Amino acid sequence: MTCLAVRSSKGQMKMQQMAMVLVAFVIFFVLVGVFVLSVKLSSVRESAGSARENEARALVHKLASTPEFSWTYEDCSACVDLDKLLLLKDQDAYRDFWGNSIGLIKVQRLYPTEGTEYLECTSSNYPECDQITIYDKQEGYTAQNAFVALCRLEGEPLEPRCQFGQLVAGVEIP
Amino acid sequence: MENQRGFEFSFTWLFVVLIGLAILFIALYVSSNLLETSNVEYQTRTAAELGALLHPLETSLASQASYTVALPEETRIYNRCYPDGAFGTQEIRTSVRSGLGNEWPRAGEPHSFSNKYLFSSEIIQGDKLHFFVLPLAMPYKVGDIIVMYDKSYCFVAPPRAMEEDIESLGMELVNVSAVKASCPRGSVTVCFDGSRCDINVQIKGDGSSGVVSKNRTSVSYYGSLVYGAIFSEPELYDCQSTRLRKRAAHLAALYEGKSSLLESRGCSSGMESDLRLYGAALLDSRKTVSDIGTYSDSLRRTNDLLSCSLF
Check residue A1 and give its pLDDT: 47
Q: Supply the pLDDT for residue B47.
A: 76
CA distance B235 to B284: 18
Q: How do residues A147-165 score in pLDDT, each as one tens digit?
A: 999 999 988 888 999 999 9
Strands B89-96 and B65-82: antiparallel
Which of A80-94, B5-19, B33-47 is most confident? A80-94
If you write DSSP's letter for every residue of A28-57 in order, what string do you get? HHHHHHHHHHHHHHHHHHHHHHHHHHHHHH
Average pLDDT over every residue of B11-23: 80
Q: Does residue A45 sit at the B interface (CB-CB below 8 Å)?
A: no
pLDDT band at B58 (very low <50, low <70, confident <90, very high): low
List beta partners, residue A145. A168
Residues B162 and B174: their CA atoms lie apart, in Å, by 12
Q: How far apart are CA B155 and CA B163, in angstroms?
A: 9
**Which of B11, B31, B60 to mutate against chain A (most A CBs within 10 Å)?**
B60
* Contact between B15 and A18 using a beta-carbon 8 Å cutoff: yes
Which residues make beta-bridge pairs with A170? A104, A143
Task: Show residues of chain A in contact with B19, CB under 8 Å.
Answer: 18, 22
Q: Do A58 and B52 touch (CB under 8 A)?
A: yes
Q: Are A133 and A89 in contact (CB under 8 A)?
A: yes
The shortest C-alpha distance from A64 to chain B (Å) reads 8
Answer whether A67 touches B (CB < 8 Å): yes
pLDDT band, residue B1 (cuts 50/70/90): very low
Contacts of A32 (CB under 8 A, 6+ apart): none
* Nearest residue on chain A to B10, alpha-carbon basis: A11
Taking contacts as CB-CB distances below 8 angstroms, the residues of chain A near B267 are 153, 157-158
Q: What is the pLDDT of residues B156-180, one digit of tens each?
A: 999 999 999 999 999 999 999 999 9
Residue A3 with chain B: CB contacts under 8 Å = 1
Q: Looking at residues B289-296, what average pLDDT do you find?
A: 92
**Beta-ladder partners of B69:** B129
On whether the CB atoms of residues A132 and A154 are closer than 8 A, the answer is: no
Do residues B228 and B237 make contact, with C-beta atoms less than 8 angstroms apart?
Answer: yes
Nearest beta carbon to residue A47 from set B45, B56, B265: B45
Task: Count chain A–chain B contacts defined by CB atoms under 8 A.
Answer: 117
Q: Give the type of residue at A137.
A: K
- B238 or A142, higher pLDDT: B238
Contact between B86 and A93 using a beta-carbon 8 Å cutoff: yes
Higher-scoring residue by pLDDT: B28, B82: B82
Q: Which residues of B296-305 are buried (b: 16+ CB within 10 A; e: fewer)?
A: bbebeebbee
Alpha carbons B215 and B232: distance in angstroms, whole number: 11
Structure ipTM: 0.81
Q: Residue B145 pLDDT more than 80? A: yes
How many of the other CB atoms lie within 10 Å of CB of B123? 14
Whether the upstream peptide bond of residue B234 has omega within 30° of 0, thus cis, is: no
User: What value does the mean pLDDT of chain B take?
Assistant: 88
Query: What is this structure's pTM?
Result: 0.83
The residue among B21, B39, B41, B61 with the most chain A CBs within 10 A of its CB, best to mutate, is B61
CB-nearest partner of B258 from A18, A83, A99: A83
pLDDT of B305 higher than 50: yes
More confident residue, B288 or B62: B288
Side-by-side strand order, sheet with B141-149 = B111-113, B89-96, B65-82, B123-137, B141-149, B118-119
Of A15, A97, A157, nearest to B115 by CB-CB distance is A97
